């Protein structure tokens, strides 16, 4: 039997002290360690967070298991490319409570500077303000003044954008379009045909009075749509790469 890798105690101590969800996996996406906050999020429990060691995402006691294969592919991409990935994860976590997290996955190196796995860090953005969320998702800047919602999930699509009325599907397609996704990818995320997505993009161009897709994106950013997550996305599990660093 192959010997289970161990985590450098200094790295483990760092994970325990840092805010947010922290942990690491080996090259086969087997958990080497995860801190108490991640254990609580995933449903293992803070007191039993060491029980995560040796498990995979297929073994977790919440609905994230539905995306376990996708998580493994993301890990593999980070390992092979040696580049980090930022991922928007929307799932029903422990207690079947829907939450939105930004997870950053980076290569885990050994003492010889060989990649042996991945390090992950998750930040809860479920109750993040609109502007804070926007700064997480993109390097782009815009002088947008948004009315913050006085609600539990203040970042969700608000009535501040009353001048441009979007359907649920239009909001969802625009969300992915603003994050560099093409029609085929959007169709896959939303369970639609590529033709349907293309038709929705045409409707979006009309509503934003845009001559082409690039102008649509520019006008949508200026209107503040870059900094929103459509509330309807909380009905379907998502794990979407938002940005890959060069």
Q: What is the pLDDT of residues 105-122, one digit of tens each?
A: 999 999 899 999 999 999
What CATH number is attached to the domain comprising 163? 1.10.10.10
pLDDT reported for residue 177: 93
Within a domain: residue 2? no
Q: Six-digit token pair at 37? A: 């906050």
Count of structural domains within the chain:
2
Domain holding 50, by residue range, is 9-124
* 241 three-class SS: strand
Q: Are residues 62 and 119 in the same domain?
A: yes
Q: Are residues 13 and 108 in the same domain?
A: yes
Q: Are residues 120 and 13 in the same domain?
A: yes
What CATH number is attached to the domain comprising 109? 3.30.450.20
The domain boundary residue, chosen from 94, 109, 124: 124
Residue 176: CA atoms inside 13 Å, Cβ hemisphere, count? 24
pLDDT reported for residue 165: 87
Q: Are residues 135 and 119 in the same domain?
A: no
pLDDT reported for residue 40: 96
Span 14-21, average pLDDT: 93
Contact by Cβ (8 Å): 192, 182: no
Percentage of the chain modeled with pLDDT above 90:
61
The domain boundary residue, chosen from 124, 144, 167: 124
pLDDT reported for residue 172: 93
Within a domain: residue 202? yes
| Residue 234 CA: distances (Å) to CA of 14, 91, 96, 157, 237 | 32, 7, 12, 12, 7
Span 126-147, average pLDDT: 41
Percentage of the chain modeled with pLDDT above 70:
82
Q: Are residues 218 and 138 in the same domain?
A: yes
pLDDT reported for residue 225: 85
Within a domain: residue 219? yes
Within a domain: residue 162? yes
pTM equals 0.75
Distance from C-alpha of 203 to C-alpha of 215, rounded to nearest angstrom: 14
- For all residues of the chain together, what is the average pLDDT? 83
Within a domain: residue 245? no
Mind listing the pLDDT tens digit for each residue in 143-202? Answer: 332 322 232 333 333 333 457 889 999 999 999 999 889 999 999 989 999 999 999 999
The domain boundary residue, chosen from 108, 124, 140: 124
pLDDT reported for residue 162: 57
Q: Are residues 92 and 163 in the same domain?
A: no
Q: Are residues 210 and 116 in the same domain?
A: no
Q: Six-digit token pair at 41? A: 């999020």
Mind listing the pLDDT tens digit for each residue in 49-83? Answer: 999 999 999 999 999 999 999 999 999 999 999 99
pLDDT reported for residue 243: 56
């Amino acid at each position: 039997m192959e010997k289970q890798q161990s985590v450098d105690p200094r790295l483990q101590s760092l994970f325990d002290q840092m805010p947010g969800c922290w942990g690491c996996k080996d090259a086969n996406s087997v958990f080497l360690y995860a801190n108490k906050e991640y254990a609580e999020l995933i449903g293992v429990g803070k007191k039993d967070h060491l029980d995560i060691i040796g498990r995979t995402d297929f073994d977790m006691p919440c609905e994230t298991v539905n995306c376990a294969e996708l998580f493994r592919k993301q890990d593999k991409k980070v390992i092979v490319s040696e580049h980090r990935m930022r991922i928007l994860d929307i799932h029903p976590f422990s207690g079947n409570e829907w939450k939105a997290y930004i997870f950053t996955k980076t290569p885990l190196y050994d003492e010889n500077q060989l990649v042996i796995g991945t390090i992950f860090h998750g930040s809860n953005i479920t109750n993040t303000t609109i502007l804070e969320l926007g700064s997480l998702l993109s390097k782009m800047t815009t002088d947008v003044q948004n009315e913050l919602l006085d609600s539990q999930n203040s970042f969700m699509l608000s009535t501040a954008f009353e001048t441009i009325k979007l359907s649920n599907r239009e909001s969802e397609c625009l969300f992915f379009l603003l994050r560099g996704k093409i029609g085929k990818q959007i169709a896959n995320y939303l369970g639609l045909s590529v033709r349907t997505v293309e038709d929705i993009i045409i409707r979006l161009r009309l509503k934003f009075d845009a001559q082409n897709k690039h102008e649509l994106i520019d006008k949508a950013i200026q209107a503040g749509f870059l900094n929103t997550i459509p509330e309807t996305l909380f009905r379907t599990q998502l794990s979407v790469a938002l940005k890959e660093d060069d």
